[in-house]
């Protein structure tokens, strides 16, 4: 059997390790199990501590829709000639129109500074919305994903869906705030709904948000973090989304 010190050294290096040998030791050793539980409580504090609030501007959409970007026929801008207000010492040269357009796009990416979100929960909603922008294809699919694919995505979060949960057209295990979380799209009578199961994110009460064309809510799930439920476009009211969130919550079976 693995030595206690080896177990603790390993778990201190990676508290979420799924190594079979570590698991076996933990199941057999009450002292190391308690050590791990204390460590995981600290890990939760550590995760929250690292998640400092971000500038509000970081969650805003990039302003590229107003004008077309430079096409392939036009050379892409180079950092050396972009008309950015760089720090003293940088060589800023005369801008051209397309450079300004590209710069406006990049300025959207860049940090405007100044206003920093003060509420961690706002930051959570902003991160959920920002995650949507990274996976636009999720909304396009309408066919049911294979059961095996869905099971694979859900099993790490220790949950499954009841058969009446609705047609799941997208299922992905996504990196979100340092964890892998299930990102699902469920087809409902009101349209496709994105569900993110956030077992590592706790909220005190339901939090509605309406941002960047996404309307949704993050609801607490006692003992299991929270669930984010959101729809694209403003086709239904917040009340309906709350009801959808409640149905989603009801359709989840936690397996731990």
Partner 1 sequence: MNDEAGGIQRRTRFQAICQSLRPDLLRFAFWLSRDRALAEDVVQESMLRAWKAQDSLLDESAAKPWLLTIVRREYARTFERKRFPTVDVDELIAKEEPMLAAAEEQDIADVRAAIMKLSDEYREPLVLQVLMGYSTAEIARELDLSGPAVLTRLFRARRQLRAACGEDTTLDPQE
Tell which positions 91-110 bind partner 1, by CB under 8 A.
102, 105-106, 109-110
Residue 131 makes contact with partner 1 by CB under 8 A: yes
Which among 131-139, 142-150, 183-191, 223-231 is the span making contact with partner 1, rule CB under 8 A? 131-139
Using the rule CB under 8 A, which residue among 21, 27, 28, 42 binds partner 1?
A: 42
Tell which positions 140-179 bind partner 1, by CB under 8 A.
175, 177-179
Q: How far is the CB of 180 from partner 1 (least distance, A)?
A: 7
Q: How far is the CB of 179 from partner 1 (least distance, A)?
A: 6
Residue 127 makes contact with partner 1 by CB under 8 A: yes
Residue 185 makes contact with partner 1 by CB under 8 A: no
Residue 234 makes contact with partner 1 by CB under 8 A: no
The token pair at 169 is 């057209």
Which among 116-124, 144-152, 202-210, 225-233 is the span making contact with partner 1, rule CB under 8 A? 116-124
């Amino acid at each position: 059997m693995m030595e206690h010190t080896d177990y603790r050294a390993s778990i201190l290096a990676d508290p979420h390790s799924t190594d079979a040998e570590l698991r076996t030791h933990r199941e057999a050793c009450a002292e190391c199990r308690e050590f791990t539980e204390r460590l995981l409580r600290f890990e939760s504090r550590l995760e929250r501590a690292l998640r400092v609030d971000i500038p509000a501007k970081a969650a805003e959409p990039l302003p590229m829709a107003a004008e077309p970007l430079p096409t392939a026929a036009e050379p892409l801008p180079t950092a050396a000639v972009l008309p950015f207000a760089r720090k003293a010492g940088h060589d800023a040269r005369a801008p051209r129109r397309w450079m300004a357009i590209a710069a406006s796009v990049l300025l959207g990416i860049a940090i405007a500074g100044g206003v920093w979100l003060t509420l961690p929960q706002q930051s959570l909603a902003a991160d959920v919305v920002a995650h949507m922008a990274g996976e636009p294809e999720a909304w396009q699919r309408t066919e049911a994903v294979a059961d095996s694919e869905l099971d694979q995505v859900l099993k790490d979060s220790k949950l499954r869906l009841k058969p009446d949960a609705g047609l799941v057209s997208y299922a992905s295990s996504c990196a979100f705030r340092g964890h892998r979380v299930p990102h699902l799209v469920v087809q409902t009578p009101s349209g496709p709904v994105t569900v993110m199961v956030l077992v590592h994110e706790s909220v005190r009460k339901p939090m509605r948000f309406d941002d960047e064309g996404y309307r949704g809510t993050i609801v607490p799930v006692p003992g299991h973090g929270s669930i984010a439920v959101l729809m694209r476009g403003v086709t239904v009211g917040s009340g309906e989304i709350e009801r959808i969130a409640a149905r989603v919550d009801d359709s989840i079976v936690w397996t731990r």
